[in-house]
Amino acid sequence: MADYNQHIQQAKKNLSFLCSVNLQIPGSTDWQVTSAFYAAVHLMNARLANIADHHYRSHEKVNDALNPFNATPTALPEDEYLAYIILQNLARRARYLCHHDKNKGGDRAHFTDVNHFVRAITQLDILMRYMAATHAVDFESYEINCAQIDTIGLTYFSHLKVETVAE
């Protein structure tokens, strides 16, 4: 199983991939959301490995270990746990084009757009701030082509203004 440092390296690799896809394939919000989630997966697995030498193979086990209501040494604070769960749900929606709606009788088809990407980046930024503060992870700043983040005030993501070439 991967150790703490390997998970951190993979999270940073996923962050670089996210930025590359964002800049080179702008309409791929589904892959951008999914990449954001998998960066978070590795950050949370690094936390689990660092605190308790736990290594899980399923999202459910990770969720249980991070859940603040389970009173485990690896539990996250509520806000960070919620950020992780929101990001996980956004990635599920992006991968499977569905969103579980209890009030409407189950899964319905949904597409992922820039608003979902902004929400995903916001949740990922929360988790990155947490990892920086509690595990001394040093993140670089990531520039992405998404004007909607200009007003949010994210720590690790900023809007890269891409010039378009007139043909």
Kindly report, residue by residue over 14-26, the tens digit of the pLDDT. Answer: 999 999 999 999 8
| Among 97, 74, 90, CA closest to 33 | 90
Beta strands in 34-162 (DSSP E): 98-101, 106-109, 142-144, 157-159
Crossing angle for the helix pair 78-96 and 59-66, nearest 10 degrees?
A: 160
> Would you state the structure tokens that stand for residue 53, as one six-digit string?
């030498």
Please enumerate in sequence order all residues whose Cβ is within 8 A of that of 94, keeping only pairs 6 or more positions apart, or say none.
29, 30, 31, 33, 34, 112, 116
Q: Is 161 exposed, middle or buried (0-12, 13-18, 19+ CB in 10 A)?
A: exposed
124 pLDDT more than 90: yes
Output the pLDDT for position 97: 67
Residues whose CB is less than 8 angstroms from the CB of residue 136 and which lie 6 or more positions away in sequence, other chains included: none
Q: Is residue 159 part of a domain?
A: no
The reply to whether 31 falls in a domain is yes
* pLDDT exceeds 80 at position 60: yes
Residue 132 lies in a domain: yes
Domain range for 40 is 4-141
Q: Is residue 160 one of the residues assigned to a domain?
A: no
In this prediction, residue 13 has a pLDDT band, given cuts at 50, 70 and 90, of very high
Domain assignment of residue 115, yes or no: yes
**Average of per-residue pLDDT values in the chain:** 89
| Average pLDDT score over residue span 12-41 | 95
Distance between CA atoms of 82 and 88, rounded to whole angstroms? 10
Please check whether residue 122 lies inside any domain of the structure. yes
Res. 100 pLDDT band, cuts 50 70 90: very low
> 88 in a domain, yes or no?
yes
Number of domains in the chain: 1
Identify the pLDDT of residue 67.
Answer: 97
Residue 98 is assigned to a structural domain of this protein: yes
CATH code of the domain containing 46: 1.20.120
